Amino acid sequence: MAAPVSERERIEARLERGGFVVELLRAPELLFRAASALRRAGYDRGLVPCARLDAPVVSVGNLSAGGTGKTPMVAWVARELAQRGRRVGLLSRGYGARAGTGNDEAALLREILPDVPHVQGANRVAGGHELVARHGCDVVVLDDGFQHRKLARALDFVLLDATRPWGLAGRSDRDAPLLPRGLLREPPCALARADAIVVTRADQATSAHLLELRRAIERHAPGRPLALATHAPAALRALDGSRTELAELRGREIDVASGIGNPAAFERTLESLGARLLERRRFPDHHAFTAADLAGLGTRWLVVTAKDAVKLRGLASPALAQVRVLDVELALLEGRAALEALLDSLPAARGQRERAALHEGLHG
């Protein structure tokens, strides 16, 4: 069975080939770029109103369409806020979710943050109000929210994947195409409104590439705090939860299946652990796996991401017995203090301020 390729790989191959199709996409890209610029100007100048919650909002987002590793960052922010005594709520669009259910990211976040309420829906303003009013949250973490400016936020953390910071491999900030010709939702100049920039998968880039990336970020967002992070392998487990030592991957022949934004980065992580990857099956981000997708697998370990594992449970496939899930956690290599200082600076929710004022009045 031929290995499918991701949408990112299709776009990269199309641009590499060039030709009529690529040229045909220049017009819609220019229209998208113009619409994006008008939209940014409307919000920047206060011509388009923003809704405000009775609690501060921390947005975790990116410039490109997926693949930067937002879920581990969302989990890190939520845990850091909880350690500061905040009642955290998660808010997301729920891309790819079926009616009445959350998507793959929601299922994964329920596993790693079981005590944190999570609301998904297209109307994120209504979802934010629900987290505050119904769940008593005093801070809201907005997943994939950099472009969702209808909801005002106190902090914007923007992620760039070190291996593809401008959406596609081999592109600089000066020649990165926007949708639909490329994968950028906004041009690099949009980084100017970020409060901090986090470069993920920094361990997979050379020092020279990181230096070039630092200079590009400084051009677009001068003076903004910059953090470097990696998705560190944390555990290897079967679908029933039983654990296996990561060292068991060294020298082992495995198969890989993934439906994520950057499958190549996941595969490089496995190779860094010493695994020998044989069959690689790549599917689009948020892919809903079926038993047919796993046909012919099961003679070796089939290693998947935690995000994909939540979609495999319940499938009728003999390959599930050989599935191993690689759990990863965000590890900050640089810039932790700056991110923590920003989280420390968050204002109290309105309810907290009112209670504090009442207490002071009663005991003043």
Question: Who wins on pLDDT, 100 or 303?
Answer: 303
pLDDT at 107: 83
Side chain identity, residue 41: A
Per DSSP, the residues of 80-126 read: HHHHTT--EEEEE--TTPPTTS--HHHHHHHHH-TTS-EEE-S-HHH
Helix (H) or strand (E) holding 340: helix 336-344
| Domain regions of the chain by residue span | 25-231+331-345, 232-329
pLDDT in tens, 156-179: 999 999 999 999 888 899 999 999
Average pLDDT of the residues in 103-115? 86
Question: How many other CB atoms are there within 10 angstroms of residue 192's CB atom?
Answer: 13
- In percent, the amount of the chain with pLDDT more than 70 equals 90
pLDDT in tens, 197-246: 999 999 999 999 999 999 999 999 999 999 999 999 999 999 999 999 99
Question: How many other CB atoms are there within 10 angstroms of residue 318's CB atom?
Answer: 12
pLDDT in tens, 255-306: 999 999 889 999 999 999 999 999 999 998 889 999 999 999 999 999 999 9
pLDDT in tens, 307-346: 999 999 889 999 999 999 999 999 999 999 999 999 999 9
CA distance 87 to 135: 9
Average pLDDT of the residues in 190-201? 98
* Confidence (pTM): 0.89
Pair of tokens at residue 359: 């207490």
According to DSSP, the residues that pair with 120 across neighbouring strands are: 92
Contact 142, 195 (CB under 8 A): no
CATH code linked to domain 25-231+331-345: 3.40.50.300
The H helix count followed by the E strand count for the chain is: 11, 12
CA distance 329 to 234: 6
